[in-house]
Structure 1
Amino acid sequence: MERKRSRRYRYRQKSLGQKIKDFLRQFIAFMFSNVGIIGLVVGYTILGAFVFQAIEGSQDDDTGQRVVRLRNETAARLWQLTLRLNTLSRALWVANVSHEMLLYQEKVVEAIMDGFDGTEHSKVPQQWSFPGAFLYSLTVITTIGYGNVAPKTEWGKMTTILYAIIGMPLFLLYLSNIGDILAKSFKWIFARCCKCRGCACDRRRRELRRLQRQQELHQLQARRRGEVELELAALGPAPAPAPAAPNARAWQGPAGPLAVADPDAALDGEEDDDASGSDGSSLDDDPQSITVPITLCLTIMVGYVCGGALLFSRYESWDFLDGSYFCFISLSTIGFGDIVPGDKIYASQGIELSFILCSMYLMLGMALIAMCFNLMQEEVVAKMRGLVAAARAVCRCWGRRDRLREVAAEAGAAAAAVVVPGALRTPAAAAAAPATEDYDVDEVAEEEEEEEEEVVVVPRAASMRGRRGGI
């Protein structure tokens, strides 16, 4: 019975609330994935376009109609003024017309402050049409803010604040994820392009690898030589070293000869391994461990700006300099707003293609800029780590050198400070003393005669030989 109950409990269907929770959890995980974040940004921008079009579109129609009505009324008043005066007095007519024109000028300025751009809406599409509102929504979440289009109503201003609060972090997340994906993809392509044996990048990588191995071998060689010299200085002279291999350098240590392989022979073998395995083993390297040069990243950014300049110069009445200026100002999120797209498209084709092109160019371009920044950051970090490692190696080398000098000096002082009673020291020991230190045998003999039991200082090796001679 217990087993049947456990099976029933295991295969029991989920409730409707649990299903809704699981669906929402999976949906949120998908929306914040690499693919879902793109759709989320595009959908959020489209939603903002519809919202701003509904809020500001009616205000744009009212402003344009008010300006047209004001102009017609001003022209009618001028005609009535001319008919009423019916005089040839130029000064009187100019005074009345100037007053009417001043009133018209004030009304036009008020309309411009309300969003009027001076274009006839019967010939030119509205600035709050769907492509225009889409571009405005994109400039809000990207913090570009051209300034040529801005909300005039209270609801539009409050909606812009709320829209930016949610949209800017979302777009930053989009740049982070898409930039990381593009960076990994580009590094993989760059690694594949540099895998050929004759590639300059591959040759440079092999040369750096060889120099790194050579440096490691020399450091190991210097460390072993320092340890052996330190032990020899502390223990005194030892028998002659045993013969070593032809490609080895031997030093006598406390437990016998210590051989260190010749770095040239080791490097030759490693170069042969690199040459034989450059086509096979190098392909197994992790592409993500390869860094992209900064010059290549700068070339990509400059090329994208130049490509955008050529694109906009084809559809707009701009030259190459103005197109490059607009692309750089837009991609750098400066957004002065002195040059905006859309003029020539309206006059020639009658559609709003420039807003669509500009929106696509900005979304792809900012992701590409994020990719280049990621690659350049990795390159700079790798360079700085190399400099720090080189500085540490130099400091370690100098520190080891000074430490070996200090230890050698201490060992020499300790060997010279061994005290032996005068009774145990013989003339043979005194005669053997100059073999290691420059002592005067006559002076030692005179001192021995004067004080038989005096404690004198002799080298350790000589004292030990004296003991053996006395025994």
Structure 2
Amino acid sequence: MLLIKILFPHVVLVTVLVGYLCLGAWILMLLETSTELMARSRKLIHLSNVMTNFTSDSWRILNDAQLGIHLVDRSEWDTVFREYMVTVAETVDDRRPIRKELRKPDDIDNMHNKWTFPTALLYVLTVLTTCGYGEVSVDTDFGKIFAVAFALIGIPLMFITAADIGKFLSETLLRFVSNWNKISHKMKQILFRKRYTRRKSLQSTSGHSDVIDIFGVEGSDGKLWFPIGAYVSCICLYCSMGSAMFINWERSWSFLHAFHFGFNLIVTVGLGDIVVVDYIFLSLIVAFVIVGLSVVTMCIDLASTHLKAYFTRFHYFGRAKKFLGMSDELKEIVVLLRAMRRKKGGKVTWNDVRAFLDSELRDRPFEPHELLMKLRFIDETSSGMSTIRHNSFQSDFFRDTEYLRRITALRPEQPAYL
């Protein structure tokens, strides 16, 4: 039941996105079909007239030559028929059944419609992913208005869905890596407990090992390049899986061509002018694009931490890192949290901070606050300003420059008393 509750909003989000795509494809089919078929009919009528004129002129030239009325030389022959061939080449669309349509060029029902549901769905998909599709384009005014409105709503929906799925994938991957690291750490502790304990003891007594970088740059050089390479490999692996799927439907495609097509899809370069007839293939392309955008989002989300670390190194190259806009007290708090994180060996939570403060307050010597409030300094007079000695744990603690040294000098088995 808990799993269903967790998955329900994500499933609803994906369902809404798919439904939105299908609705947009259906509306564009209604808006664009009649205009596209009328334009197709006019083109075929023009092509039919060109072919009729071509036949008539050929017959006339042949008869004139046979009867000796007019002899045509080679240059005149080339000029006349080259013009016809160029006109036909500009008119013909080799993606349509030209021979069948020319039988009844004025019959719209006999025309081949480009605005089928697969092409319309691919078009709206490319609108939401901000890439191009060369097979169809919107020609009517209402279609253009609808496409703009559809994109204004659909583009945020598409990227929210991709970001949601990508975040889920990144959290799953991080959880897997975290569990794997825990298992590996426990195995190392079991196999090399003595050496591991000795090494930890040396690290805890070393002054340099307890200096923490809040940006997470120190100590990460050996790990940075592998994750970034892994993200690139993840995208390439996903495109390879897609190319293996594509070549099952497009037999004329090579693996490289299919890989390039899949890569262009998920990085929103474009669909080209592919024509999809099989609805299964259409569904696979839509799923490939949505999941692919999620994979790219996941990789960017995970790699951003490492890229930020490199950017921080580059930005502060040759100079100390600065805490911009922080007061001295806040800087001291940040340093304290860094020390606590280093001592704990992981992320510091509010529970850790509260436990530390409770321990500090509990172990401090008793001070009678009411009595101290009534005491004055020796140089104070009854008529002078009333300077009262306030006991503040925060001010005493965070102004004490020795607390960090005492924290970093502690061994893991010692209590965290200051």
TM-score range, shorter chain: 0.5 to 0.7
CA distance in 2, matches of 1:385, 1:212: 28
Which ranges in structure 2 are unaligned for 5 or more consecutive residues?
Answer: 1-5, 66-70, 102-110, 212-225, 322-331, 333-418
Flag the 1:211–1:165 CA change in 2: closer, same or farther, 3 A: farther
User: Which of 302, 313, 331 is equivalent to 2:236?
Assistant: 302
CA distance in 1, matches of 2:136, 2:207: 66
Farther-moved stretch of structure 1 (118-127 vs 186-195): 118-127
Q: Superposition pairs for residues 301-380 of structure 1, below 5 Å?
A: 301-316=235-250, 317-335=252-270, 337-338=271-272, 340-342=273-275, 351-380=278-307
Flag the 1:313–1:215 CA change in 2: closer, same or farther, 3 A: same
Farther-moved stretch of structure 1 (93-102 vs 325-334): 93-102
For residue 146 of structure 1, report the CA deviation from its aligned partner: 3.1
CA distance in 2, matches of 1:174, 1:190: 24
Root-mean-square deviation (CA, aligned residues, Å) is 4.4
Farther-moved stretch of structure 1 (213-222 vs 156-165): 213-222
- In the alignment, is the contact (CA less than 8 A) between 1:306 and 1:324 conserved in 2? yes
Q: Superposition pairs for residues 144-155 of structure 1, below 5 Å?
A: 144-155=131-142
- In the alignment, is the contact (CA less than 8 A) between 1:70 and 1:104 conserved in 2? no
- In the alignment, is the contact (CA less than 8 A) between 2:189 and 2:196 conserved in 1? no
- In the alignment, is the contact (CA less than 8 A) between 2:50 and 2:84 conserved in 1? yes
Question: Counterpart of 2:257 in structure 1: which amino acid?
Answer: D
Give the equivalent residue in structure 2 for 1:169.
Answer: 156
- In the alignment, is the contact (CA less than 8 A) between 2:204 and 2:210 conserved in 1? no
Flag the 1:368–1:202 CA change in 2: closer, same or farther, 3 A: farther
Question: Counterpart of 2:96 in structure 1: which amino acid?
Answer: T
The superposition leaves residues 411-445 of structure 1 with CA deviations (integer Å, 9 ceiling, x where unpaired) of xxxxxxxxxxxxxxxxxxxxxxxxxxxxxxxxxxx
Question: Counterpart of 1:50 in structure 2: which amino acid?
Answer: W
Aligned partner of residue 133 in structure 2, secondary structure: coil
User: Which of 13, 18, 25 is equivalent to 1:42?
Assistant: 18
Flag the 1:96–1:190 CA change in 2: closer, same or farther, 3 A: same
Give the equivalent residue in structure 2 for 1:430.
Answer: none
In terms of Rg, which structure is larger? Answer: 1
For residue 301 of structure 1, report the CA deviation from its aligned partner: 1.5
- In the alignment, is the contact (CA less than 8 A) between 2:162 and 2:290 conserved in 1? no
- In the alignment, is the contact (CA less than 8 A) between 1:131 and 1:355 conserved in 2? yes
Give the equivalent residue in structure 2 for 1:156.
Answer: 143
CA distance in 2, matches of 1:52, 1:209: 69
- In the alignment, is the contact (CA less than 8 A) between 2:231 and 2:303 conserved in 1? yes
Give the equivalent residue in structure 2 for 1:24.
Answer: none
Flag the 1:197–1:83 CA change in 2: closer, same or farther, 3 A: closer
User: Which of 178, 188, 213 is equivalent to 2:165?
Assistant: 178
The superposition leaves residues 86-109 of structure 1 with CA deviations (integer Å, 9 ceiling, x where unpaired) of 211334666554555565566x2x
For residue 380 of structure 1, report the CA deviation from its aligned partner: 4.5
Give the equivalent residue in structure 1 for 2:97.
Answer: 120
Instruction: Please give the TM-score of this superposition, normalised by the length of structure 2.
Output: 0.55
Question: Counterpart of 1:294 in structure 2: which amino acid?
Answer: I
The superposition leaves residues 348-379 of structure 1 with CA deviations (integer Å, 9 ceiling, x where unpaired) of xxx35433322111111111111122222245
For residue 186 of structure 1, report the CA deviation from its aligned partner: 2.2
Question: Counterpart of 1:331 in structure 2: which amino acid?
Answer: I
Flag the 1:82–1:367 CA change in 2: closer, same or farther, 3 A: same
Which ranges in structure 1 are unaligned for 5 or more consecutive residues?
Answer: 1-29, 224-291, 397-471
The superposition leaves residues 255-279 of structure 1 with CA deviations (integer Å, 9 ceiling, x where unpaired) of xxxxxxxxxxxxxxxxxxxxxxxxx
Question: Counterpart of 2:304 in structure 1: which amino acid?
Answer: Q
Aligned partner of residue 303 in structure 1, secondary structure: helix
User: Which of 61, 68, 72 is equivalent to 1:90?
Assistant: 72
- In the alignment, is the contact (CA less than 8 A) between 1:196 and 1:202 conserved in 2? no
The superposition leaves residues 64-84 of structure 1 with CA deviations (integer Å, 9 ceiling, x where unpaired) of 333333333322222333444
User: Which of 204, 207, 216 is equivalent to 1:219?
Assistant: 207
Question: Counterpart of 1:365 in structure 2: which amino acid?
Answer: G
User: Which of 1, 24, 34 is equivalent to 1:58?
Assistant: 34
- In the alignment, is the contact (CA less than 8 A) between 1:195 and 1:202 conserved in 2? no
Identity across aligned pairs (percent)?
25
Question: Size of the alignment, in residue pairs?
Answer: 279
- In the alignment, is the contact (CA less than 8 A) between 1:144 and 1:333 conserved in 2? yes
Greater RCO, CA 8 A, separation 6+: 2
Give the equivalent residue in structure 2 for 1:13.
Answer: none
Give the equivalent residue in structure 2 for 1:70.
Answer: 46
Flag the 1:104–1:218 CA change in 2: closer, same or farther, 3 A: closer
